[in-house]
Amino acid sequence: MNDSPRTVDRREALSAIGLAAAAIPALAVAQQPAPQPAKGPPIAVIPGNTAPAELKVFDEASGQFVLPALPYAFDSLEPHIDAKTMEIHHDKHHAAYVAGLNKALGELARIRAAAGDSSLVKYWANQVSFHGAGHINHSLFWQMMAPPGKGGGGPPRGALADAINKAFGSYEQFMAQFKTTATSVEGGGWGWLVVEPWSRQLLLIQGEKQQDLMVTGCLPVLGIDVWEHAYYLKYQNKRADYVNAFPNLINWEFCGKLYDRAVAR
């Protein structure tokens, strides 16, 4: 928060915080330059901002998406999320989204090279959306949590706290709506706190599957995975109990950084 901010477009800003443009499925599958969309208000990147190392989700050298390591041990979110759930969720589920995304992009490349079945473009594009969103959602989700008492839990601070109060009335009112939003997702999906960048408002939205019901262009600040694989070993059908425990794990410092970067100009 020092020198005059440099003005960049949103795509560059996303890259600067580690969410490479390729992390947006629609951009990743673009085969030719899309018509220039109307530009929203430019936002700024504070000089010196660098991508958090833990958010390296793509390897430039190989051109492949990669599974980032968990930033803490499997058992360090206990008792709220058990170690076995974390191990399976990260090592199996998240890894499968990474593999699925790379596979889908590879198949689309084969089709472009006339070596694949062009009737399957729709199928593979859908796979890019599903697995790409799954990869980015989980890469963020691990960072949005921290061990209780060691970065996890407590109320938000700083500009994000002020924005939550302004948008939702109070932290308590926000949290009540957040919990209801997450608990009531139909089937598998996510509860999200996002910045809608045209209005720069905070919104609480649901994401079904990995990607449905998202508002285009919204920037994630906080999310909770409410697929059964995220909680079933410990909580079985009691999703609300898992959602109620989740605030003990929220890494508000990380969420605050996402917020600051989403609204910076």
CB nearer to Mn ion: give 225 or 260.
225
CB atoms closer than 10 angstroms to residue 236: 11
130 binds Mn ion (CB under 5 A): no
Stretch that binds Mn ion, among 17-25, 161-169, 202-210, 220-228 (CB under 5 A): 220-228
List phi, psi (to 5°) of 58.
-140, 135
CB of 188 to Mn ion, least distance (A): 8
Element (H, E) at 88: helix 83-88
Residue 227 in the binding site for Mn ion (CB under 5 A):
yes
CB 252 to Mn ion: min, Å: 21
Structure tokens at 142: 């691990």
- Among the listed residues 145, 191, 225, 254, the single contact to Mn ion using CB under 5 A: 225
Give me the least distance between CB of 6 and Mn ion, in Å please: 35
Report the residue number, 142 or 168, with the smaller CB distance to Mn ion: 142
Query: Which of these ranges, 32-40, 104-112, 149-157, 221-229, lies near Mn ion under the rule CB under 5 A?
Result: 221-229
E-strand ranges in the chain read 6-8, 43-45, 58-59, 64-65, 189-196, 201-208, 219-225
Q: Which is nearer to Mn ion, 107 or 225 (CB)?
A: 225
Q: Please, what is the minimum distance in Å from the beta carbon of residue 134 to Mn ion? A: 7
Residues 6+ apart with CB under 8 A from 151: 251, 253
Residue nearest to Mn ion (CB): 225
* Residue 158 CB contacts under 8 Å (≥ 6 apart), including other chains: 256, 260
Between 88 and 109, CB nearer to Mn ion: 88
Tell me how far, at minimum, the Cβ of 225 lies from Mn ion, in Å.
Answer: 4
Task: Count CB neighbours of 123 within 10 A.
Answer: 11
The two three-digit tokens of residue 41, written as one number: 């208000």
CB 226 within 8 A of CB 182: yes
Using CB under 5 A as the binding rule, whether residue 231 contacts Mn ion is answered as: no
The footprint of Mn ion (CB under 5 A) covers 225, 227
